[in-house]
């Protein structure tokens, strides 16, 4: 193997020393007021490496954007300092960090909404599934369709969140346009039945994603903004009559906007499988800059995809949860800790900051890992 995982790569102006990215992972561990706390500081510091890229957990841009209780937000100035302490610590270890901007749209319940209101969506179509609260899961409620004159306010919420991310010391932002959340709901025609200029044609359905991406670009410049997509995903009971056409249009649109990267969740065997999936091999000819691929990769499958040229970086999720030193474990082919799915959402340090680093046979290995070397 060419060992491309450990070769350098620029993402916009940001130089990375390896191709392993920590995927955005909702963990629901923030403090009062959805402010990043000491526990989150420890978690991200553990996973930072010299020249490595971390993408933060999805951070709601508005109170209406919650589908997971206690997700750390970026909708209030009070949250800036908590995030700033985290970005400072990541930078101290030589790492880089983007903040993922999030609004769940219809994937929510009244119990999580301000004043118990209905969740908002492009169209009043209920999603299948459950929202996460600290007292357990609750079914999604029927959303209400956004009025045309409400949409600019939501776009501005993304703009203000991008500004707070800049103040908090991040290296860039990622628009969460994946997993059936609000931009995805506008984009796919299974969830968008609007008859105004945000519905109908693919150009109209992509308008919300284009506008929130442009709002972030207005703050950061295009080369520090990324977008995440799930072209073959079904999470959130998503569907589109022609995903190839829809996502080809989006990839071309985002390429023309000059964004730093496209973050694509690859189709997997099982719930997200389809006969003719939309994956990075289809999007690569349409997008000229960095592509990050995510989706259950091993070291070997990551190397194969990098060698194909269809992706430039590989995002790891669950293995990063269980292995704070994942980069070094992959570098040296050390065994991985097994993750505990029951501790993914909510809770305290257990299953969050208490996974051990690999000590190995080298007495100096543990110290080096803690220093991110």
Distance in angstroms (rounded) separating the CA atoms of residues 329 and 299:
10
Close Cβ partners of 1 (under 8 Å, ≥ 6 residues apart): 300, 303, 307
Q: Specify whether the CB–CB gap between 81 and 87 falls below 8 A.
A: no
Q: Which helix (H) or strand (E) holds 129?
A: none
Centroid of chain to Cα 334: 27
Place of tokens 């203000």: 160
Q: Which of 43, 66, 140, 181 is catalytic?
A: 181
Alpha helices (H) along the chain: 38-47, 80-92, 151-167, 182-187, 202-205, 207-220, 243-257, 280-283, 299-308, 318-322, 326-332, 365-370
Q: How many residues does the chain have?
A: 373
Which of 77, 47, 76, 71 minimizes the C-alpha distance to 58? 71
Pairing of strands 14-16, 9-11: antiparallel
Angle at 365 between CA 363 and CA 368, to 5 degrees: 125
Q: What is the DSSP string of 249-263?
A: HHHHHHHHHT-SEEE
- Phi, psi of 97, rounded to the nearest 5 degrees: -150, 130
Is 181 known to be catalytic? yes
Active site residues: 181
């Amino acid at each position: 193997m060419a060992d491309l995982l450990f070769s350098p790569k620029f993402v916009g102006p940001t130089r990375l020393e390896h191709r392993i990215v920590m995927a955005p992972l909702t963990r629901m561990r923030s403090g009062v007021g959805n402010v990043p706390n000491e526990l989150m500081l420890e978690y991200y510091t553990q996973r930072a490496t010299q020249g490595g890229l971390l993408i933060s957990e999805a951070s709601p841009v508005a109170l209406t954007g919650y589908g997971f209780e206690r997700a750390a937000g970026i909708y209030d100035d009070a949250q800036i300092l908590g995030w700033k302490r985290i970005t400072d610590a990541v930078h101290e270890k030589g790492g880089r960090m983007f903040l993922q901007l999030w609004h769940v749209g219809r994937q929510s319940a009244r119990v999580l909404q301000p004043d118990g209101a209905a969740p908002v969506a492009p169209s009043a179509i209920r999603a299948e599934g459950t929202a996460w609260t600290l007292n357990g899961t609750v079914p999604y409620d029927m959303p209400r369709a956004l009025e045309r004159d409400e949409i600019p306010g939501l776009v501005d919420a993304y703009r203000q969140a991008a500004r707070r991310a800049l103040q908090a010391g991040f290296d860039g932002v990622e628009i969460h346009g994946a997993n059936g959340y609000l931009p995805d709901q506008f984009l796919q025609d299974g969830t968008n039945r609007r008859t105004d200029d945000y519905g109908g044609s693919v150009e109209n359905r992509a308008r919300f994603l284009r506008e929130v991406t442009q709002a972030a670009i207005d703050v950061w410049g295009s080369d520090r903004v990324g977008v995440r997509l799930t072209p073959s995903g079904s999470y959130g009971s998503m569907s589109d009559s022609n995903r190839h056409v829809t996502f080809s249009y989006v990839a071309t649109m985002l390429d023309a906007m000059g964004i730093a990267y496209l973050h694509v969740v690859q189709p997997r065997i099982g719930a997200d499988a389809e006969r003719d999936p939309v994956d990075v091999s289809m999007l690569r000819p349409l997008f000229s800059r960095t592509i990050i691929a995510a989706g259950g990769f091993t070291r070997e499958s990551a190397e194969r995809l990098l060698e194909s040229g269809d992706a430039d970086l590989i995002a790891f999720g669950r293995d990063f949860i269980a292995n704070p030193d994942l980069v070094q474990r992959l570098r040296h082919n050390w065994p991985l800790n097994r993750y505990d799915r029951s501790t993914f959402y909510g809770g305290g340090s257990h299953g969050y900051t208490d996974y051990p680093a690999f000590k190995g046979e080298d007495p100096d290995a543990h110290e080096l890992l803690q220093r991110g070397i």
